[in-house]
Amino acid sequence: MAMRRSERVWWLSVLGMASTLLWSVTVLAQESIGQVASLQGQATVQHAGSSQVMPLSVQSPVYRDDTIQTLKVSKIKLLLIDGTELTLGEGGTMTLSQLVYAPQHNTHQGIVRIARGLFRAVTRKVLPQTAFEVRTATAVAAVRGTQWLGEVTPEATAIVVLQGEVTVVQADRRVRGEVVLTPGLGTAVRGTSPPTAPSRWAEDRVFTLLRATALP
């Protein structure tokens, strides 16, 4: 016997609720890799395997493979379990691709993908086997206990270091060329070109990035 329209709607509703519940249980079963430390304006998260986009608030947990987005006139700071601080300015998109923090094995590895936006990262070399990378469409930046800033678009990445050291290469590993940035020096990676030679950024450019990513 054919199912009546009202019955189909009811079953679709039940299936939708079951799918949402399963997704919620899956997320809750994961271990949080950090939380929202500060938020100005509005930001959202999309968990891995889910099509739902949910609002974030201060102290909201974040998980591996979460994609974070900030809206206009908004910025967010995340504090990860390894002590890393990540701040994303307005109109930004960032994915927490990987975080392995295992003090018992002296291992600390992290990968963050930034699709667009202004960002600030404060990382610390807390364990002997530390490897932390920020990846964009055009660049890969490997970090060694540092504080640094960046501007990311799909076409280009610009990075400047405030403290510590950052090694930058082209995201396309077929393109040779590596630069090492120390405090005050920056580089840009455009399209499929190698990173530009390190140069000292103007104070007003650095100040603009600092202001755009400033949160308590």
- Report pLDDT digits (tens) over 4-26: 555 554 444 544 444 443 333 33
Residue 208 to residue 78: CA distance in whole angstroms: 20
Range in 81-85, 111-115, 156-160, 166-170 the model is least confident about: 81-85
Average pLDDT on 169-194 reads 97
Residue 152 to residue 189: CA distance in whole angstroms: 10
More confident residue, 152 or 30: 152
Residue 197 to residue 216: CA distance in whole angstroms: 33
| SS3 sequence of 51-93 | CCCEECCCCCEECCCCEEEECCCCEEEEEECCCCEEEECCCCE
Average pLDDT on 125-150 reads 83
**Cβ pair 47, 71 in contact under 8 A:** no
Cβ neighbours around 173 below 10 Å, total: 8
pLDDT over 70 for what percent of the chain? 80
Q: What is the pLDDT of residue 125?
A: 62
Range in 41-50, 107-116, 125-134, 143-152 the model is least confident about: 125-134
**Residue 82 binned pLDDT confidence (cut-offs 50, 70, 90):** confident
The DSSP output letter for 4 is P
**Residue 123 binned pLDDT confidence (cut-offs 50, 70, 90):** confident
Residue 106 to residue 131: CA distance in whole angstroms: 11
**Cβ pair 49, 80 in contact under 8 A:** no
**Cβ pair 54, 44 in contact under 8 A:** yes
Tens digits of per-residue pLDDT, 32-77? 999 999 999 999 999 999 999 999 999 999 999 999 999 999 999 9
Largest CA distance in the chain: 76
Q: Scanning the structure block, which residue is given the tokens 């909201």?
A: 60
Instruction: Identify the helix (H) or strand (E) that includes residue 6.
Output: helix 5-29
- The pTM of this model reads 0.82
Residue 153 to residue 157: CA distance in whole angstroms: 6
Cβ neighbours around 94 below 10 Å, total: 25
The DSSP output letter for 126 is -
Q: What is the pLDDT of residue 159?
A: 97
Q: Is beta strand 129-135 parallel, antiparallel or unpaired with respect to 107-122?
A: parallel
- Enter the tokens of residue 205: 């450019």
Residue 190 to residue 146: CA distance in whole angstroms: 23
Three-state SS for 58? coil
Residue 211 to residue 106: CA distance in whole angstroms: 35
pLDDT over 90 for what percent of the chain? 69
More confident residue, 139 or 24: 139
More confident residue, 145 or 5: 145
Arithmetic mean of pLDDT over the chain: 86
